[in-house]
Amino acid sequence: MSRTKLRGAVVGYGFISSAGHIPAYLKRSQEVGDVEIVALADVSPERRKLAQQTLPGARIYGDYEALVRAEASNLDFLDIATPPLYHAAIADAALSAGLHVLCEKPLTFTVEEARLLLNHAKSTERVLYPCHNYKHAPMIKKIREIVRSGRIGKVRSVTLNTYRDTHAKGVAEWNSDWRRYRRYSGGGIGVDHGSHSFYLAFEWLGSYPTAVTAKVSNLQPGRYDTEDDFAAIVTFPTGLAHLHLTWTAGTRRLVYTLHGEAGVITMHDDHLAIETADGAVERLTMPLHFADSSHASWFNSLFDDFREAIECGDFAGKEAEQAVLCVQVIDTAYRSAREESRELPITD
Ligand SMILES: NC(=O)c1ccc[n+]([C@@H]2O[C@H](COP(=O)([O-])OP(=O)(O)OC[C@H]3O[C@@H](n4cnc5c(N)ncnc54)[C@H](O)[C@@H]3O)[C@@H](O)[C@H]2O)c1
């Protein structure tokens, strides 16, 4: 049975859009045929030119409002791939125009904006779905399978370390250092990698956090106003998550550990070790693609879930709720850091 073709538009043709989302849509459109990108908006004339070359049949706009006005009746969904400052306004306009929304992380700048969007998705009965793409990495799927099998028992503690030797750069045609300016990003590496770390911790610990204590530092305070080092301990009813996210490391590396009552999983980039209480150790190597920050190969799996949410009418589902919670944990962590790392509750 052939599937309905979803017609989409993308706002933002920067790094993640041009290297991740659009290549994945084009591939899917050729191989599965259930999606087509018919329009795109970007404020940069140079980026619009490049977008037109990649999507010759699409209509290209200089701002999202013009796109939504002209195209809404012709569209099913809007994909938001701009810096975080603009996410809430664009998502709000799309929901108001009756479109489903796929939005890059973090969902919004503020907790209030995130909650408003969630309610807006419920009232308009349109899907709000975050790009929590790490959940779709083959290695993370493998970890999910091992945890679900009960092999390491109940997970009681997780560590999530993200090491980068610089902040991720946006495309040169707009403002490649926007992540280092609070007015565009809302924060430094805590915002940039916090969502990935927190939604994985929710899953692995099997509950939602109740408190956080955090510390941040900025090695270039005269130049930038966001942190390049972020550490947090997050309390869950089932255990603790320890996070260390840094843009000041000598290398690019991702190291996660999950400590269960009957064993430990250690993920070191492409390598996974599973050690169980009986002394057995299994080692696996998988193509994780973490080195390629476009994560294009994970997008297809994420889009399957977005599609399913549309088909099931799961408008403001678990993923959207977790995206709101990620914004809330990040916000509470920054408040803790400002208050000398005092532990603060994460309230409902
Ligand atoms: N999930 C992931 O793994 C992942 C990886 C990278 C980036 N991201 C997210 O993707 C988003 C974009 O990041 P990026 O690295 O692609 O940034 P980027 O700077 O490379 O691209 C941003 C693009 O948006 C355009 N733009 C800026 N303001 C706009 C507006 N108001 N309307 C329309 N277009 C506008 C810019 O011209 C630019 O082309 C961010 O939210 C970031 O956190 C996610």
Decide whether any atom of ligand 1 lies within 6 Å of the 130 Cβ: no
pLDDT of res. 3: 78
> 170 and 114 in one domain?
no
> Could you tell me the CATH number of the domain that includes residue 219?
3.30.360.10
Counting from 1 in the atom list of ligand 1, the atom nearest the Cα of 41 is 33
> 220 and 148 in one domain?
yes
> 66 and 211 in one domain?
no
Q: What is the pLDDT of residues 150-203, one digit of tens each?
A: 999 999 999 999 999 999 999 999 999 999 999 999 999 999 999 999 999 999
> 142 and 87 in one domain?
no
pLDDT of res. 294: 74
pLDDT of res. 2: 62
* 1 within domain boundaries: no
* CA distances in angstroms from 110 to 106, 137, 181, 230, 321, listed in the order given: 10, 27, 16, 19, 14
Per-residue pLDDT band for 58 (boundaries 50, 70, 90) equals very high
For a mutational test of ligand 1's pocket, the pick from 44, 49, 82, i.e. the residue with the most ligand atoms closer than 8 A to its C-beta, is: 82
- What's the domain count of the chain? 2
For a mutational test of ligand 1's pocket, the pick from 44, 104, 113, 175, i.e. the residue with the most ligand atoms closer than 8 A to its C-beta, is: 104
* 320 within domain boundaries: no
> Exposed, middle or buried by CB within 10 Å (0-12, 13-18, 19+), for 101?
buried
Encode burial over 57-70: b for 16+ CB neighbours within 10 A, e otherwise: ebebbeebeebbee
> 264 and 148 in one domain?
yes
> 98 and 59 in one domain?
yes
- 290, pLDDT greater than 60: yes
Counting from 1 in the atom list of ligand 1, the atom nearest the Cα of 168 is 15
Rounded to the nearest angstrom, the distance between the alpha carbon of 12 and the centre of ligand 1 is: 6
Decide whether any atom of ligand 1 lies within 6 Å of the 224 Cβ: no
pLDDT of res. 289: 67
Q: What is the pLDDT of residues 74-84, one digit of tens each?
A: 999 999 999 99
- 1, pLDDT greater than 70: no
Please give the backbone phi and psi of residue 298, each rounded to the nearest 5 degrees, phi first.
-85, -20
> 71 and 15 in one domain?
yes
> 167 and 103 in one domain?
no
Question: What is the pLDDT of the chain when averaged over all its residues?
Answer: 96
> 264 and 232 in one domain?
yes
Rounded to the nearest angstrom, the distance between the alpha carbon of 337 and the centre of ligand 1 is: 27
- 288, pLDDT greater than 80: no
Rounded to the nearest angstrom, the distance between the alpha carbon of 180 and the centre of ligand 1 is: 14
Rounded to the nearest angstrom, the distance between the alpha carbon of 39 and the centre of ligand 1 is: 17
* 322 within domain boundaries: no
Rounded to the nearest angstrom, the distance between the alpha carbon of 251 and the centre of ligand 1 is: 23
How many angstroms separate the CA atoms of 279 and 289, rounded? 30
> 142 and 73 in one domain?
no
Question: pLDDT > 90: what percent of the chain?
Answer: 95
Which domain, by its residues, includes 182? 134-293+327-345
Rounded to the nearest angstrom, the distance between the alpha carbon of 44 and the centre of ligand 1 is: 12
Decide whether any atom of ligand 1 lies within 6 Å of the 42 Cβ: yes
> 278 and 206 in one domain?
yes
Please give the backbone phi and psi of residue 308, each rounded to the nearest 5 degrees, phi first.
-65, -40
